């Protein structure tokens, strides 16, 4: 009988251990026993948020990207400034631009009510990104979980780690390479710009100064974005279907109708042209590859084990 109990104990320990991330590896089953309703809570909240405002799906996807590119996927982008640090919300790539924080607060409150102190803010962002893409007609994927939250943030790191919309291809490649992401990942993840809007201040240089842009498209955007002023006026990143996740972003690039300088750099007589053409020709190929790249991005330097914490409020450390 003693041997039998020891065997049961060993099986239990092994089963629990299999749900925990080891050596930085994340698990899709991480919350299966500690908060089995976590995924359904996030999914329902995302559906409601997008029903209320379609644009929020792109905003939440962008938060995951901006989180992972600054010291790893640790929820640091969500932290408000405090007495010890200036957070990432006012960094150049995020200031008056990053949004969706109230939606994150709402989801986190629901998760805390169901499973107090269990689901991290970093994981919340990863799940929300997937559910937003699916809700807007894009592909699904299995989200790896088990990230923990940072207790600090860095505006300076956000300013240097997130590639600006003025980046050339070389700078984009370097920025992604610094995160362990390949040129293929760069082109694939850029496809997230099939949804969402951008501010005039981000695309002004492209529509006035660049030659690799369709003249009629540049003229169209100049109507709302003058050489000075109107910085916050918005235009869709995807000219055709800005609220639907598809491959038309790449087709726009082939026609020199990328909104941002950094977008059109991906199709400008360089090494990335061939992949842009492939994605433009086959939506199924893009849908097959996007999940692979975003899963890879979601595994950038996660805090696991005893590192970091599980924030109860995503805006501040416990």
CA distance 237 to 270: 21
DSSP of 86-120: --STTSTTTTTT---HHHHHHHHHHHHHHSTTTS-
Do residues 198 and 165 lie in contact, with contact meaning Cβ atoms separated by under 8 Å? Answer: yes
CA distance 38 to 45: 11
Helix (H) or strand (E) holding 197: strand 197-199
**Active site (annotated) includes residue 261:** no
Q: Which of 5, 64, 66, 256 is catalytic?
A: 66
Helix (H) or strand (E) holding 234: strand 234-236
CA distance 131 to 47: 8
Do residues 291 and 140 lie in contact, with contact meaning Cβ atoms separated by under 8 Å? Answer: yes
Q: Rounded to whole angstroms, what are the CA distances from 242 to 50, 192, 246, 283?
A: 13, 10, 9, 16
Beta bridge partners of 234: 199
DSSP state of 235: E
Nearest to 178 by CA among 151, 160, 152: 160
Which amino acids are annotated catalytic?
66
């Amino acid at each position: 009988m003693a041997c039998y109990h020891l065997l049961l104990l060993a099986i239990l320990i092994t089963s629990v251990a299999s749900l925990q991330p080891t050596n930085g590896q994340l698990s899709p089953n991480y919350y299966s026993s500690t908060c089995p309703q976590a995924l359904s809570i996030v999914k329902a909240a995302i559906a409601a948020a997008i029903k209320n405002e379609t644009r929020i799906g792109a905003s939440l996807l962008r938060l995951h990207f901006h989180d992972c590119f600054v010291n790893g996927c640790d929820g640091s982008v969500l932290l408000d400034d405090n007495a010890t640090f200036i957070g990432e919300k006012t960094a150049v790539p995020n200031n008056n631009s990053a949004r969706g924080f109230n939606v994150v607060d709402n989801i986190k409150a629901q998760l805390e009510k169901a499973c107090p102190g269990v689901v991290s803010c970093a994981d919340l962002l990863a799940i929300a990104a997937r559910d937003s893409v699916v809700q807007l007609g894009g592909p699904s994927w299995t989200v790896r979980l088990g990230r923990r939250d940072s207790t600090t943030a860095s505006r300076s790191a956000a300013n240097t780690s997130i590639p600006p919309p003025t980046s050339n291809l070389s700078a984009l490649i370097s920025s992604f390479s610094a995160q362990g992401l390949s040129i293929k990942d760069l082109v694939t993840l850029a496809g997230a710009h099939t949804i969402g809007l951008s501010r005039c201040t981000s695309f002004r240089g492209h529509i006035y100064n660049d030659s690799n842009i369709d003249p009629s498209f540049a003229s169209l955007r100049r109507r709302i974005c003058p050489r000075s002023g109107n910085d916050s006026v918005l235009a869709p990143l995807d000219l055709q279907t800005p609220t639907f996740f598809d491959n038309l972003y790449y087709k726009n690039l082939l026609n020199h109708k990328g909104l941002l300088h950094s977008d059109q750099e991906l199709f400008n007589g360089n090494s990335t042209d061939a992949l842009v053409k492939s994605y433009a020709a086959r939506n199924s190929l893009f849908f097959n590859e996007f999940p692979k790249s975003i899963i890879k991005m979601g595994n950038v330097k996660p805090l696991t084990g005893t590192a970091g914490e599980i924030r109860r409020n995503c805006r501040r450390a416990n």
